[in-house]
Structure 1
Amino acid sequence: MPLSLEERQDFLAEPHVAALAVTAAGGRGPLNVPVWYAYEPGGEVQVMTERGSRKAQLIRAAGRYSLLVQQTEPTYRYVTVEGPVTAADPVTEEELRAITARYLPAERVEEYVTRVLPGIDELVNFRLRPEHWLSADVSA
């Protein structure tokens, strides 16, 4: 059974590792990779990556991407969201700390941020405006 808009937004706001998919060229299937992301209900999805990565190049070329987040323990649920890129901004230290704290235990955040900060200028934050949603909760 599909989730309501509120349920989809709340589920996407949880710290799942997402599968990001973006169209690839040259007769290849879409690039599909795991990513950390940030999202608050009603807002935009944010994904950070290295500016020169294949992922970043393909997102720029396509102008959009999609994410899949899922819960595999009972009960199985998933949400996909797809839409246009609204911005590709430099990553701030505050954004880096926030996304790191979303995924790592508190005692590991500072170590990770300290390791990444010297190369923060090489990171870009792709913002996506949710345009199309799919979802299901198989327990319903």
Structure 2
Amino acid sequence: MALSKDEREAFLAEPQHVGALSVSAGTDRGPLTLPIWYHYTPRGELWVLTGSGSRKHRLIEAAGQFSLMIDRVEPTTRYVAVDGPVSRIEPGTDAQLEEVTRRYLSGDAADRYLDFARENLGEHVAIFMTPQHWLSADMGSF
């Protein structure tokens, strides 16, 4: 059964769902699809952080759009997929890094990851997407 607008936006905004991001990788191969941490506020934009100049960054910038899908299997089997245009790309901030990290990790694990990211991952960009198309369903429990 399809989710209502409020249900799908609330599900997308729940913490700890790792997204599967897809972006066109050109006409001679399938899309680049990979797991990614993201942030979403209902009725707002979705954003991801990625390395500045990374393949993902370059492909998203070239395509001008991307898709993101999340799912779960408990307590019910549910998914939400969204795609839309890139609304802007800007330098990532430490506040964004902290916000998205603490969405997925807590306590010491978050602190250790933040230390690692700040020391080893280099500059990031924040890529914002305006959700335009939604697919969603909750198929109940099995």
TM-score, normalization by structure 1: 0.94
Distance 1:26 1:9 in 2: 32
Q: Secondary structure at the match of 2:9?
A: helix
Please report the RMSD computed on the Cα atoms of aligned residues, expressed in angstroms: 1.6
In structure 1, C-alpha distance between the alignment counterparts of 2:62 and 2:56, rounded to whole Å = 10
CA drift of 1:97 comes to: 0.6
Q: Cα deviations across residues 85-136 of structure 1 (Å, max 9, x unaligned)?
A: 0111111111111100011122222222122224676201100000000000
Q: What is the match of residue 96 of structure 1?
A: 97
Is 1:64 the counterpart of 2:65 in the alignment? Answer: yes
- Contact residue 82 and residue 131 of structure 1 kept, 8 A: yes
Matches of 2:32 and 2:116, distance apart in 1: 27
For residue 73 of structure 1, report the CA deviation from its aligned partner: 2.5
* Worse-superposed segment, 102-111 or 73-82: 102-111
Alignment correspondent of 2:4: 4
Distance in 1 between residues matched to 2:119 and 2:44, nearest whole Å? 29
Aligned to 1:132: 133
Gaps of 5+ in 2: none
Contact kept in structure 2, 1:91 and 1:120, CA below 8 Å: no
CA distance in structure 2 between the aligned counterparts of 1:63 and 1:125, rounded to whole angstroms: 14
Q: Would you say the 8 A contact 1:85–1:129 is kept in 2?
A: yes
Unpaired segments of 5 or more residues in structure 1? Answer: none
Count of equivalent residues = 140
Q: Counterpart in 1 of 2:41?
A: 40
Which residue does 2:109 correspond to in 1?
Answer: 108
Shift of 1:28: 0.3
1:72-83 equivalent positions in 2, closer than 5 A: 72-83=73-84
TM-score of the pair, normalised by structure 2: 0.92
